[in-house]
Amino acid sequence: MATAFEWHNYGKSTIGSREDIENVSIEKLQAFYKKYYQPDNAVLVVAGKFEEAKTLSMINDYFGVIPKPIREISEFYTRDPIQDGERSVTVKRVGDVQWLSVLHKISSGTHPDYAPTSVLMEILSNAPSGRIYKALVDTKKATAIFSIPFQLKEPSATLVFAQVPKDKSIEDAKKAMLQTFNELTTNPPTKEEVERAKASLLKQIELNFNNPDRVGILMSEFISMGDWRLFFLYRDQLEKVTPEDVLKVAKNYFKEDNRVVGQFIPVNEPNRAEIPAEPNVEALVKDYKGKAAVSEGEAFDPSPANIEARTVRSTLPNGMKTALLYKKTWGESVQARLTLRFGDEKNLVNKGTAGQYAARMLDKGTTKLSRQQIKDEFDRLKARVNFFGGATSVSVNIETTKPNLAEVVKLVEQILKDPAFPADEFEKLKSESIAGIESQRREPTAVASVRLSKYTSPYPKGDPRYAESFDESIESIKNLKLEDVKKFHKDFYGTNNATLSLVGDFDATEMSGLITQAFGSWKSAANFKRLEAKIKQVQPINEKLETPDKANAFMTAQYSWEYKDSNPDYPALVLGHYMLGGGTASRLFSRIRGKEGLSYGVGSNFFAGTLDNVGSFSAYAIYAPENGTKLEEVFKEEIMKVINEGFTEEELTAAKSGWVQGNAINRAQDGSIAAVLNNYLYNGRDFKWDEALEKKVQALTLAEVNAAMKKSLRYEDISIVMAGDFAKAKAKEAEKK
């Protein structure tokens, strides 16, 4: 971006350079605040189910009284000159995977050219039918590609990235990618490609409107371009895009002289791209008329009691359990969570990798549908469906709408029961996985996490939960055969130990019958017995691992003990650990980031088993390597303060309010409700547990919380692993002296 935009701020990182952050004066920060933090330079978006008059009155009461300062914000007028020839940039740093990127400058996000440009980027980069995907990933020149078509207020750019393993030629990948761009004019996008791309993009738009969070974020993004109605204009323009429109933008923007790649090639005759100015937004939206409003949801009470009262549970003939919660939702949206559980401690030995790949290969094709056809069907049905899992279970997350739910369930049934496990997709997935592991070998977060996991893991080699090293993971993948994956699916998959939750707008009678028909008689051939979680008592370690040439360092900390969430002091520990490291108001965050400025991100977590007697405390921090010693000192100080001095009444009151409100917000999200219902079907709980826990937390005294934390929080048992470029930091410190 910096090479493409020499003058415009799009060529600069939003947060600024590290040097700017380290050296900026307080006066500069104050001046910036005074100039830009003005009421008429701010946007407030409220999305969801609310009382308009009351909400507007509250907004006016709180924000309307802020006086407008007599300071003008100057108009931003900088524009980059038209680019005269292909540019190049090369970065050389320590790493394990090569990356190639190609940038083309394009119109602003408000220009009519943007819609066909976004369609073109989908045609080029989507998996598995994208032209660049086929040219690089299918031919094994690269392991993965992705693209970013920036939609910004002023003329911006598109970016396409390719991940290339070290043993592959980046020149071959670059040649293939540039050839794909160059052939756009002689091999223009087809009607089928355009319609497929539009279906995918429009699906995302429609599904976004079923979630108030996404609506609010989307509207604020388009307001930053000039007006919220621009979003609807973009959607309407997207619907009208033709192959001719896509070819037009391909010819105008995706040309050699308008790109930035890995080398510079001078030319005698520049082939310039004329970048149009952004249109007048007021004129664009003046007479805009929106489409018909989507169906509104009910004013749903997210209390545990109401959720429990409206949930209908049942058990299918094969033992599968279901929980259905009907509620009228915005856009007739529906959320579903399906989890298949299988195997036992004996029959799953040495099947960890096979189980992972069985789950990851599910949506790569069935005996009736190819990978692309599956994707096309989910796009047509306006469904987001994700499959994930491993050797002990596989889960399916579904988000769709009432009119499409039945077809989506039938398609999920086909994918689960009848996967084709195509050999070419299997090899691509293995290559992608190995490249991903290689890319993490020197990343501080991965290095520290793998080391601590291997040290504290109680599971032996062969157990599917065994903590593998980087080398072990790569070896497991290389040794895996497609026959192993197919056999795993045949031996273990079935729904007799499955759970399914459904939340949203649906016909309960229709869905009960369909679910029973689809999954009510499917059984796993293998014996099932839950793998019990264990802990490993270890001597605490404190290690620093070198990751050369990495700007940030990472700290991870942990200790475990026997503990269940049925323990009487569990509510006290929940609230105590929330105050210690559970959010931006916590002790660790306030001290380490807020007061000391030592960490970019810091927090801790407390876990207690429901079915197994396993408890753990963990913490993390992202920081500059030179701050490691101070970070550890402050981390210890804050934990010891909790142990020796405890919390205050003010902290307790605020924490109770924040924790309860956070739970209420989670229960207002259909996906969250579905996930909890699905989990409760497995462990035998319901939302009465949540209601009881909240009452216990609300009734806690300061003495009870402090006593519980003093009893369980033990700094001397914490293992700490840090990873970063500590040698460079030490050398810099020596130079200063």
Q: How far apart are the first and last CA of the chain?
A: 37
pLDDT tens-digit readout, 126-161: 999 999 999 999 999 999 999 999 999 999 999 999
**Residue 419 DSSP one-character state:** B
Q: Judge contact between 492 and 524, C-beta under 8 A.
A: yes
The band of 270, judged by pLDDT with boundaries at 50, 70 and 90, is: low
Percentage above 70 pLDDT, the chain: 98
Q: Which of 37-41, 223-227, 233-237, 590-594 has the lowest mean pLDDT?
A: 37-41
DSSP 105-137: E---TTSTTHHHHHHHHHHHHSTTT-HHHIIII
Q: What's the confidence (pLDDT) of residue 273? A: 72
Q: What's the confidence (pLDDT) of residue 365? A: 97
Q: For residue 695, is pLDDT > 50?
A: yes
pLDDT tens-digit readout, 14-25: 888 888 888 889
Q: Which two tokens stand for residue 340?
A: 């298949």
Q: For residue 264, is pLDDT > 70?
A: no
Read off the pLDDT of each residue in 712-736 and give the average, rounded to a whole number: 91
Q: For residue 617, is pLDDT > 50?
A: yes
| CB burial readout 311-321, b (16+ within 10 A) else e | beeeebebebb
CATH number of 304-519: 3.30.830.10
Q: What's the confidence (pLDDT) of residue 218? A: 92
pLDDT tens-digit readout, 671-691: 999 999 999 999 999 999 999
Q: For residue 631, is pLDDT > 80?
A: yes
Q: For residue 737, is pLDDT > 80?
A: no
Domain boundaries, the chain: 1-81, 87-282, 304-519, 542-736
Q: For residue 263, is pLDDT > 50?
A: no
CA distances from 56 to 61, 112, 217 (A): 9, 34, 19
Q: For residue 697, is pLDDT > 60?
A: yes
Q: For residue 543, is pLDDT > 50?
A: yes
Q: What's the confidence (pLDDT) of residue 266? A: 37
Counting runs of H as helices and runs of E as strands, what totals does the chain give? 28, 16
Read off the pLDDT of each residue in 194-208 and give the average, rounded to a whole number: 94
The band of 279, judged by pLDDT with boundaries at 50, 70 and 90, is: confident
Q: Domain spanning 87-282: which superfamily?
A: Metalloenzyme, LuxS/M16 peptidase-like (3.30.830.10)
How many residues are given for the chain? Answer: 737
More confident residue, 354 or 282: 354
Is it true that the peptide bond before 458 is cis, omega within 30 degrees of 0? no
Q: What's the confidence (pLDDT) of residue 98? A: 86
CATH number of 542-736: 3.30.830.10
Q: What's the confidence (pLDDT) of residue 41? A: 87
More confident residue, 600 or 119: 119
Q: Which of 35-39, 182-186, 587-591 has the lowest mean pLDDT?
A: 35-39
Edge-to-edge strands, sheet with 87-88: 87-88, 259-261, 97-105, 157-165, 144-149
User: What residues pair up with 542 in beta bridges, in sequence order?
Assistant: 720
More confident residue, 19 or 6: 6
Q: For residue 693, is pLDDT > 90?
A: yes
The band of 551, judged by pLDDT with boundaries at 50, 70 and 90, is: confident
Q: What's the confidence (pLDDT) of residue 268? A: 54
Q: Which two tokens stand for residue 457?
A: 């893991």
Q: What's the confidence (pLDDT) of residue 75? A: 83
Q: For residue 265, is pLDDT > 60?
A: no
User: Could you check whether 87-282 and 304-519 share the same CATH topology?
Assistant: yes
Q: For residue 267, is pLDDT > 70?
A: no
Q: What's the confidence (pLDDT) of residue 23? A: 85
Read off the pLDDT of each residue in 446-474 and give the average, rounded to a whole number: 97
Give the long-range contacts of residues 233-240, CB within 8 A, separation 24 or more. Answer: 233/110, 233/284, 233/285, 233/288, 234/109, 234/114, 234/115, 234/151, 235/202, 235/205, 237/112, 237/114, 237/115, 238/115, 238/118, 238/119, 238/198, 238/201, 238/202, 238/205, 239/198, 239/202, 240/115
Taken in order 388, 393, 398, 403, the sign of the CA dihedral is: positive
Cβ neighbours around 180 below 10 Å, total: 21
Read off the pLDDT of each residue in 175-189 and give the average, rounded to a whole number: 96
Q: What's the confidence (pLDDT) of residue 22? A: 82
